[in-house]
Amino acid sequence: MTTYLLVHGAWHTGECWARVVPLLEAAGHRVLAPTLTGYGETAHLAGPEVGLDTHVDDVAGLIRAEGLTDVVLVGHSYAGLVISSVANEVPDRIARLVYLDAMVPEHGETAADVLPVTQAMIEAALASESGWRVPPMPELPPPDGLFGVTEPADVAWLRTMLSDQPVRCLQQPVRLDNPATRTIPRTHIHCTVKPDGFERRPVPAVQPNGTPAEIWELATGHDCMITAPGELSELLLKLG
């Protein structure tokens, strides 16, 4: 049995994994898909003090509280920053890091360093009436849709999950200074349908642990757990 810990990205909740969780569980694995502080049922806790470090504490705290080991830690989008710092804190408990169409940082980098378009979101939030709220990305014409979701029923479902992102999440730097994190294998899953302006960094040919990079692709939009749950689950099961 493998333990999968699925971490949602900005603006979303753990419910976004609802189509993936049963597929992994049906294969005999344990799956956790928490909602990070400030989203969904905890949206009332969102505020200017909530940041990347808050979400790292959420996930690392869950791993410790549940006594999890040999975890396949999956981070979608913004959560690539989260899982990186989590691995820095508890590297002995992580079997693999999976960057699912995610930001892949180096030590000391922020979201804006990894994805420069994020800087405009930060500036707009700081200049807004609240001073900290980053609203979800707007829906775009197909094939981009709402985070890559275009089916009307799925868009309506996704809208029920979305809430504002605290700007501090995009400002705090990732910590990757524990040498043990370099030994953890990595898998990158890229969604190939993406809007203009969201160019990802090339993945180095060699992982930090010295092995060849492992990169898989899904021919779907950004929220692949909604649009292609079966295909995504098949890839994740290869890691179990």
Residues catalogued as catalytic: 77
Q: Which own/partner contact pairs does 101-104 have at CB distance under 8 Å and 24+ positions apart?
A: 101/76, 101/77, 101/189, 101/190, 101/191, 101/194, 101/222, 101/224, 102/9, 102/75, 102/76, 102/77, 102/78, 102/188, 103/77, 103/78, 104/80, 104/188, 104/200, 104/201, 104/203
Q: How far is CA 161 from CA 44, 55, 133, 226, in A?
A: 14, 17, 16, 12
- Taking Cα atoms as reference points, which of 125, 145, 2, 12 lies closest to residue 77? 12
- Taking Cα atoms as reference points, which of 114, 142, 102, 84 lies closest to residue 10? 102
What one-character-per-residue DSSP string does 163-227 give?
A: -PEETHHHHSPP----GGGGGS-EEEEEES---TT-PPPPPPSB-TTSSBP-EEEESS-S-HHHH
